[in-house]
Amino acid sequence: MSLGLNRLKDFGFELAGKWLLSGRDLKLQLDEAMGGKRDVLYAFVVDGTLRYIGKTAALLKARLQGYKTPPSVGDNGVSTNIKSHDHIVKALSDGSTVEIYILHGKAQQQYGEHVIRLAAGLENRLIGTFSPLWNGHALANYKAAVVKPVQSPPANVQSPRMAARGTRCNDAPGSARLYAADYPTRVVDLPDAAKTIAVQDFDNCFGQMEQALWCLSKHCRESLLSNQSSECLETLIWTIKDWWGVQGVVTESKVQIAKSIAKLEWTSSLFQPRQDIVDESFACAWVAEVLARSKELGVPRQELSLTSKVLHWLLPWHIPVYDAFVRSSLGIPSSLKPLEAYRKVSTELMHAARQIDVSKAAWLGDNDPRSPLRGLDKCLWWIGGGKDGNAKIIKNPWRVAHQLGLR
């Protein structure tokens, strides 16, 4: 599909210049400051439609010179210059405008002894997602490398986040194996372009499952405001346990955890979307209180992962998710005690959430709940293992809601 100009801007691309035609000669009009940038993703936009995406680690103005005056013959990169030159000239000759937009990588990040570059990490993924017309050869190579026939995993392979029964994420009807380029970095440092891809990939796999969980969550509110447990709350707890791979929870814990959650100090304002994200002390206090009450009611072990996930789905603007997957993705030491680790996870994610203006964060997608913490959890899935392709989806996720008579 083509990518409109507004969509391109949503990714963070900025206008840097345009191509002009003087007689038969191609001329470059380029902002001087932007032309001096390195590590750049650049795009050629014809009459508001994306036609080409490229990258350069060199100076932008030097790279674009290759399109302006390419050799008459060549191969590989030289051939690309020639073809793009011809495309630009033809578009201008037809009376179209050809603008140049760029996405400049922020300060380079170090991962071990390796330098991580935005342009190198995102070019192929954007080409594979948006199929710009002039990227024909690169697009074909990308699809040959990334879009592969689905193969069943070995019997002992299991997703770190989703061990539920169902089809693999890549087996979803109409889906292809399009996983984001490797981007080993902290979630707080991800550019919006990468977050957009992360959320799209996640929602393509698990969007219906998430909507079913959100349906259950909203129907728990009435009983919670009366400090009463409910069948709906117990179903939410056990569905999260089942779908999101929480291991070793005994069946009796479902009722005990539900009762513990119901006794919290619930108010209707807690359920409302909000821009002013509270600090981590609220999340840590509520999780700790549920764990303590659950223990008093006979839960045999500390169910921190399950408790945080259930509270997250009930209050997605207040409570971050915690499990070994999140902890390792954020680089939290495994030597810390569970509640200490959860405080560190909460501190980092709440800090990241407070930087997000939901009204401008198009990368959050369209699925409810559009909370910063929900979006960041999807990004953690993406950068920490979701792209390995081992996750599963449930064939009929709405059955859990329909069995309770919910729609």
Whether residue 155 lies inside any domain: the answer is no
Spatial separation of the C-alpha atoms in residues 139 and 1, rounded to whole Å: 12
Residues 96 and 175 placed together within one structural domain of the fold: no
How far, in whole angstroms, is CA 311 from its chain's centroid? 21
Examine residue 201 and state whether it is found in any structural domain, yes or no: yes
Whether the Cβ atoms of residue 301 and residue 201 lie closer than 8 Å to each other: no
**Same domain, yes or no: 292 and 174:** yes
Clarify whether residues 126 and 198 are in a common domain. Answer: no
Residue 152 domain-assigned (yes or no): no
206 with 114, same domain? Answer: no
- Report how far residue 74's alpha carbon sits from residue 63's, in angstroms, rounded to the nearest whole number: 16
Q: How far apart are CA 198 and CA 195, in angstroms?
A: 5
Structure tokens at 47: 């009459």
Which among 90, 111, 145 is the end of a domain? 145
CA distance 218 to 254: 18
**CA dihedral of residues 255, 283, 378, 362 (deg, nearest 10):** 130
Q: Is 320 helix (H, G, I), strand (E, B) or coil?
A: coil
What pLDDT digit, counting tens, does each position of 35-59 carry? 999 888 899 999 888 889 988 888 8
Please count the other Cβ atoms lying within 10 Å of the Cβ belonging to residue 157.
Answer: 11
Which residues does the chain have with pLDDT short of 50?
1-2, 74-77, 107, 110-115, 138-168, 170-185
**Which pLDDT score, from 0 to 100, does residue 17 have?**
96
What tokens were used for 396? 């009929």
Quick check: 252 and 298 in contact, CB under 8 A?
yes
173 plus 283 within the same structural domain: yes
Q: In whole angstroms, what is the distance from residue 21 CA to residue 341 CA? A: 60
Residues 319, 214: Cα–Cα separation, whole Å:
15
> 366 with 312, same domain?
yes
172 and 139 within one domain: no
For residue 154, being part of any structural domain is answered with: no
The length of the chain in residues reads 407
Domain end residue (candidates: 85, 111, 145): 145
Q: 25 with 109, same domain? A: yes
Phi, psi of 4, deg, nearest 5 = -70, 165
151 in any annotated domain: no
Same domain, 138 and 33: yes
Q: What span, in angstroms and rounded, lies between the C-alpha atoms of 120 and 292?
A: 47
Q: What is the DSSP letter of 250?
A: -
Q: Which domain holds residue 268?
A: 167-402
Residue where a domain stops, chosen among 82, 113, 145: 145
Nearest to 64 by CA among 95, 90, 41: 41
The CATH number that applies at residue 68 is 3.40.1440.40
> Is the residue at 376 inside a domain?
yes
For residues 217 and 203, what is the distance between their CA atoms, to the nearest angstrom? 18
Backbone conformation region of residue 17, classed left if phi is above 0, alpha if psi is from -120 to 50, else beta? left
Q: What angle do CA 76, 77, 81 make, to 5 degrees?
A: 120
Q: Which residue is associated with the tokens 């259950």?
A: 216
Same domain, 70 and 204: no
State how far the Cα of 366 lies from the Cα of 201, in Å rounded to an integer: 13
Number of domains in the chain: 2
Pairing status of strand 167-168 against strand 40-46 = unpaired
Angle at 358 between CA 353 and CA 363, to 5 degrees: 90
Instruction: Examine residue 20 and state whether it is found in any structural domain, yes or no.
Output: yes
124/222 same-domain check:
no
Given this model, what pLDDT does residue 181 score? Answer: 39
Spatial contact of 145 and 181, defined as CB atoms under 8 Å apart:
no
Nearest-5° Cα angle at 362, 271 to 277: 35
Helical residues (DSSP H) of 278-386, grouped into ranges: 280-296, 304-314, 324-329, 338-354, 372-384
Question: DSSP of 150-170, one letter per residue?
Answer: --PPPTT---SS---SSEEGG
Residue with tokens 């990334």: 146
**DSSP code of residue 12:** T
Q: Which residues of 102-112 are buried (b: 16+ CB within 10 A; e: fewer)?
A: bbbbeeebeee
Per residue in 230-275, pLDDT tens?
999 999 999 999 998 788 999 999 999 999 999 999 999 999 998 7
Give the type of residue at 15: L
Give the separation between CA 153 and CA 178, rounded to whole angstroms: 17
Give the pair of three-digit tokens for residue 217: 């969550």
Q: Are 40 and 105 in contact (CB under 8 A)?
A: yes
Q: Examine the domain organization and report whether 36 and 141 are in the same domain.
A: yes
- The answer as to whether 150 is a domain residue is no
What distance in Å separates the CA atoms of residue 405 and residue 386, rounded to the nearest whole number? 32
